[in-house]
Structure 1
C-alpha cells in the first residue's frame, strides 16, 4: 500500500520515537473537502496552512509557525470516517500493531513506510481509533506540545481496562527511561509525560458504565484564548456547538468531526 491513513508527523528534526515514546506526538484529521476544512479551522482556531510534501490531498496546520496538526482529504477516497485521530510515539510501529492484535484490537491500516518513519492506524477493543508513529518527530516536539493540543481524552466504557490495554501496547508505566506515568486523579486515569498531562481516560460516572449509545473515541482538546469566540465562529462557518461552558466547548466541524476547545487556563 503506497498511501497512508492521515497526514503523518514525520519531519526533519532530531527528536525520534526511540527517545520519546508512549506519548501523543501528533493529531490528524480526515476530511472530504480540503479547502472547506482549512477555511473552517482558520476561522475557528486561527490556524495557518502549509502545503506538505505528501501531495495535494494533505496540509499541515501552523500556530505561531509551529506545526500542530495534519489534514488529509481522503475520507471519501478511502471510505474513511471523518474524525480527529491522535498518534502515539512508539519505537516500533510493527510491534505496536502486533500487540494491538494480540490484545483484541484492530489494525485498520499499516504499518506502512512513510520516510522518515512508519505509521499504523489502529483501534482498541471498544473501537476507539488511534495511530502510532515510529521515526523522527516534528522539528520541535516540545514546541508542538505547548502550542496545541492541550491534551487528548479517551471516552470509553472502562477507563482502567483501557489504561491496561494502551499501557501494554505503548509501554506506559514501565521501567524504560522516558516512559509515560499513569495516575488516577479526580475520577480519571491521567497520563503524564515529563510531568505534563498529555492524555486522560474517562469511563463516565465513577463505578457506572457510560451511556452505551456513545461510541468510545479519543477527543482532541485544543488550547485557545477565548472559548466563546471559537464557539461563535464555529456556528458562523457551518459547524455546530454540542456543549458550551465558560472554559470549554465541544464543537463539530461542517464535515462532522468533533473536537474540544479548552481555555489556556485549564491546561
Structure 2
C-alpha cells in the first residue's frame, strides 16, 4: 500500500466513550489542498469546517454542529493517493492489526497514538483500504450517524469471503453486546447496527483491474436530499460525475477522491 494517512479526528471536543464495536465510526479523506477541498465539499454537501490540534494540514467537517468527517491534506507531502477511508470502532487497535495480519491483510500505518485514542490504517487481503479506531469518538455514535448520513459499501472479489475476514477482525456477529449483525441477502452481505444498515458488501470487483474504481475498495456514500443538485455542484466546483441516476450518483472531487451521493428515499 502507498498510504501513510493520519486520520483527522477531532481532538478538542468533549468526546464520547460510547462505542459500537465493529461499526463504521468515522470517515477520513486525504487531500492535496485543504482549502480547495473545503470549498468543494461545502458546495456539494453543505459542510462547515474547523481546525484541530493536529495542525494546519488537518480539518474537521461539521454538519449541524456535529463532527462528521476529517480531512488530512498530506497527499502531496507524503506522496500518497487521495481517497475516502472508513474507520471501524474496535476495542483494541493492536489486536485488530494482529488479526488482519494473521488473515493475510496488511498494515500501512500504526497503530499510532492520536489522543484520545489510537488508529491504524490497514488493507484486507484483496487490497481494500480501511482503518480502525480505538478510543473515544467525536460524539455518540447515533448523533454521528444522524449528522453524517453516511454508510459504506465494499466492492470486492467475493462478498462472503470478505464478510468472514472482517467478521473475524472486527467481531461482527459475535456474542458481546454492541456488536454488529450480519445478514446474507441474495448476493450481498448486509451489516446492521441496532437494525440500521451501516455497511454492505458486494461481489464483482477485480483484483488486478487497471482501473482503480473497479478494484476492491470501500466506497463512502453520503445520503442527500437532491442527488442531481449535488452532481451539478460537483461539476461547477471542479469535480466530475462518474455515473448518475435518479437515486444515486458517483462523484469525484477535484483531487480525484471518489464518493457516492445517495437519495434519502433510496437509503
| TM-score normalised over the length of structure 2 | 0.93
Contact kept, 8 Å, 1:12 with 1:136, in 2: the verdict is no
Please name the residue that 2:251 is paired with. Answer: 251
Please name the residue that 1:57 is paired with. Answer: 57
Contact kept, 8 Å, 2:126 with 2:207, in 1: the verdict is no
Distance in 2 separating the partners of 1:203 and 1:247: 21
Distance in 2 separating the partners of 1:57 and 1:197: 33
SS in structure 2 at match of 1:41: helix
Distance in 1 separating the partners of 2:107 and 2:208: 24
Please name the residue that 2:105 is paired with. Answer: 105
After TM superposition, give the deviation of residue 147 of structure 1 in Å: 1.9
Please name the residue that 2:46 is paired with. Answer: 46
| TM-score normalised over the length of structure 1 | 0.93
Please name the residue that 1:76 is paired with. Answer: 76
After TM superposition, give the deviation of residue 171 of structure 1 in Å: 0.3
Change (3 A) 1:15 1:34: same
Q: Give runs of ≥4 in structure 1 deviating > 3 Å.
A: 209-212
Please name the residue that 2:141 is paired with. Answer: 141
Contact kept, 8 Å, 2:18 with 2:140, in 1: the verdict is no
Moved more, 143-152 or 234-243: 143-152
Please name the residue that 1:180 is paired with. Answer: 180
Once the two structures are superposed, the pairs formed by residues 25-36 of structure 1 within 5 Å of their partners are 25-36=25-36
Distance in 1 separating the partners of 2:140 and 2:233: 30
Please name the residue that 2:14 is paired with. Answer: 12
Contact kept, 8 Å, 2:207 with 2:216, in 1: the verdict is no
Change (3 A) 1:255 1:77: same
Q: Which runs of 5+ in 2 are unaligned?
A: none
Contact kept, 8 Å, 1:127 with 1:216, in 2: the verdict is yes
SS in structure 2 at match of 1:265: coil
Distance in 2 separating the partners of 1:112 and 1:174: 26
Change (3 A) 1:33 1:170: same
Distance in 1 separating the partners of 2:30 and 2:149: 17
Moved more, 135-144 or 168-177: 135-144
Distance in 2 separating the partners of 1:81 and 1:58: 16
After superposition, give the CA deviation of every residue in 1:166-193 in whole Å (9 maximum; x if it has no partner). 0000000111111101001243100001
Aligned length: 259
Change (3 A) 1:4 1:233: closer
Please name the residue that 2:154 is paired with. Answer: 154
RMSD of aligned alpha carbons: 1.6
SS in structure 2 at match of 1:197: strand
SS in structure 2 at match of 1:95: helix
SS in structure 2 at match of 1:50: strand
